[in-house]
Amino acid sequence: MADEAFQIHLQQLKQKSPGFLETIYALGNGHIGVRASNPLQGNSPAYSGKPGLFVNGFYDLSPIHYGEPYYGYAHNNQTICELPDPRYLIFEVDGVRSDKTPYNVETIDKTWDMASGLLDETFQITTPTGKTFTLTLDSFVSQAERHLYVVRYDIRALNFSGGIKIFKRHDYVNQQIPRATADIRRAQRSNTLMQTYLPATAPIMELSTQKSQLGLLVALRFLGDDPRVTLTTQNDVPCYQINLDLTPERSAQFTFGYAIGDVHDLLAFKLHQQSNVEATVALLKEQTFEEAFAASAARTQQFWQDSDIVIEGDSSLQKGIRFNLYHLFQAAGRDHLTAIPAKGLTGTGYEGHYFWDTEMYMLPFFIYTQPEIAKALLGYRYTTLPAAGRRAREMAISAGVLFPWRTINGEEASAYYPAGTAQIHINADIAYATDLYLRATGDTDFLKSAGFELILNTARFWLAYGNYATYGPQRGHFVLNRVTGPDEYTAMVDNNYYTNRMAKNNLALAVKYADKMAKIAPEKLTDLAVTQDERAAFAEAADKMYLPYDAKHKIKLQDDNAPNRPQFDIAHEPATNFPLLLHYHPLVLYRYQLNKQADTLMSALLFPLDQDEAQLKRDYDYYEKITTHDSSLSRAVFSILANRIHQPQKAADYFMDSSLTDLTDLQGNSEDGIHAANMGGSWLSLVYGFAGMHYGKSGLTFAPHLPTSWQRLKFKIKYRGRQIAVDLQQAAITFTLLHGKPLTVYCQQEPCELTLKNPSKQVSLTDSTN
């Protein structure tokens, strides 16, 4: 029985533009993503949507052309490829083809059942000769077999009986959509791919990129056996032709499966072509919609078992949260070679790049609910460690690695270094996330095989980048100059608080894990040439890291020079000027105290024991006034911290704005793809914010604050081989150990010992915490 609380209905959405709907209903599984296009439009210039299929890690390069190409600037754009729309169909009725003369297509209904992953859509189509029929699509991207996409079409005549021809072409080149845009958040270019058809039992094409030299197989097959369906070619393009005789009484159904292979280096790919083709084609053999869907739905169900969040008291919010969680699941790479693009696999925004968004906003959700996926995401960073080493050398850093600010292949792709490469906090973000994963899972194998190297090499970077100051208030301290923090309206500053605090942590982690490795795998320390002197240097730099502070006003400073900049008058800026980045030259913005997103406050979120409540409140009030939230990464942080300073209404308001960012098209650009980091932020808001989960002095600690209008917040987390259910209500919070060894969690200073014999503990909540 379908559960309405897991369904996204077209009728409930206020925005209904084609591009927006394509994003909202996009399907994916971390390897592939399919936008929910109008299936008759293809690349028609008259259509405002952007149909397409994306494969994680399948991108092409193009040289970045600089007027003044300084040494060390990023060399290449990396742009995710938009592949043919696998939903596309061409109709021919009364001799009129829909690709030559547009048919009228009306979207009647869309229902996405996130409980199973099935997308069910109905379109009403009228031919230029006045014949009307409905086209229903049932489609899913398999969560069980990552290469598989299946779509079932159902056609019913409404006002006629007669013949209709349908063509399903297996084509790329003829569907390419050129783009140009002035919005830097959108993809600035599209790729030209090469397509070759290979001899095989099903139409199978090899797509290869020109510059990145990657290859990918895409096979299409009619699933079933139907004399009305024949495989032919049209202008040398393989094409299924379906001849139907329709009547209003009886609908016709046909199903196609796509097998989308792994992304390969072209040379290796050519060498193993035969076996790749066989494996890809085999995927579609004897496949049925029902069986493939059952396997996929079972994995989806398992996802919800571990990752669902229940909110009682607000049904649209409940649905919105599930929408966010499921999109996160759909977006995350699982092969250790890919991560999560800022827009998931739902659009070309930010060209399909991975940012710190993965580690700082989305990874916690996976760490605590799907740790295998979290491990694979960190595995991607480990895979790209050599590229990060090369980048550090290019940046004249003698040791360690520098991860790119934005990338697909591990190389820097940001052409604007003040808000790109200068965000060197990315190194410390990766180290922080690695530590979080290790603390939450206790996965020492990962520590030995990858985690320690990530932490060590990022820490080595800081020692080589920074220096001990000899002048001014920083004298004797370890300083990091000319950096950009998370806030992209402030750039190239000295001692950005967030960066320094994160680097301090990174250095301390190197010491902590070197000590641990000395016990569990001392040979690794020798292999990696870690000496006692280096360990001491890490410890000293961590200890002496400079953290700018205004002692007079008792405020943490965003950077050394922040108080000398005037505050931007946000309140009097016309609403139409937001986001400011589309209306002001960066240098204008950089002259002010002006935050696009949480920066210094982000460090307060990540290091809750650094400050008492009074300090946090002062910092919060100060930074809230100068923040525009022009980045969708901002509000979640403000929501979480509002809870910590006991401002529940503010916490709820920020949360409500950010949690439905895409469903309500809050930023006006969801058509370019989802805001994946913000979706991760909504999980953080619920678990770190309203449930107040954090690492306290004694261990895993909760400080709950349920919004007054909610009755309940329920979720599960995995922690070191255990699973715990958390059930927060207005008067009490209950922790239940579902499996695993005994564990003590803390709430209001009270230890709650959970064992399988006595699995549940309830703590009643006093007014002061709620």
Site of interaction with ligand IFM (CB under 6 A): 342, 350, 355-357, 486, 488, 631, 633, 677
Strand, coil or helix: 173: helix
- What are all long-range contacts of 420-423, with beta carbons under 8 Å and residues at least 24 apart? 420/74, 421/74, 421/395, 422/482, 422/483, 422/484, 422/491, 422/492, 423/356, 423/483, 423/484, 423/485, 423/486
Least Å from the CB of residue 687 to ligand IFM: 21
Catalytic residue numbers, as ranges: 488
Question: Which is nearest to 83 in space by CA: 236, 193, 202, 178?
Answer: 193
CA 133 – CA 124 distance, rounded (Å): 6
DSSP 765: P
- Which residue, 677 or 763, has its beta carbon nearer to ligand IFM? 677
Least Å from the CB of residue 633 to ligand IFM: 5
First-last CA distance in the chain: 37
To the nearest 10°, report the CA torsion of 635, 637, 643, 649.
0
- Which residue, 306 or 624, has its beta carbon nearer to ligand IFM? 624
296-316 per-residue burial string, b: 16 or more CB within 10 A, e: under 16 = bbeebeebbebbbbebeebee
Question: Which is nearest to 79 in space by CA: 167, 176, 175, 161?
Answer: 176
Give the CB-nearest residue to ligand IFM: 355
Check the CA dihedral 660-666-672-678 and report its sign: negative
Q: Mind giving me the DSSP string for 294-305?
A: HHHHHHHHHHHH
Instruction: Judge whether 596 is annotated as a binding position.
Output: yes
CA 408 – CA 341 distance, rounded (Å): 8
Dihedral pair phi/psi, residue 657, rounded to 5°: -65, -45
- Which residue, 342 or 726, has its beta carbon nearer to ligand IFM? 342
Least Å from the CB of residue 358 to ligand IFM: 9
Strands 743-747 and 700-702: parallel
Least Å from the CB of residue 239 to ligand IFM: 39
Least Å from the CB of residue 378 to ligand IFM: 18
- Which residue, 458 or 595, has its beta carbon nearer to ligand IFM? 595
Tokens of 637: 């942080």
- Are 258 and 224 a contacting pair, CB within 8 Å? no
- Which residue, 355 or 592, has its beta carbon nearer to ligand IFM? 355
Instruction: Judge whether 559 is annotated as a binding position.
Output: no
- Which residue, 222 or 350, has its beta carbon nearer to ligand IFM? 350
Least Å from the CB of residue 489 to ligand IFM: 10
- Which residue, 240 or 355, has its beta carbon nearer to ligand IFM? 355
Instruction: Judge whether 597 is annotated as a binding position.
Output: yes
- Are 762 and 734 a contacting pair, CB within 8 Å? yes
Strand, coil or helix: 139: strand
Tokens of 245: 């005789």
CA 494 – CA 560 distance, rounded (Å): 6
Least Å from the CB of residue 406 to ligand IFM: 7
Q: Which residues are annotated as a binding site?
A: 356-357, 596-597
> Annotated binding site for substrate: which residue ranges?
356-357, 596-597
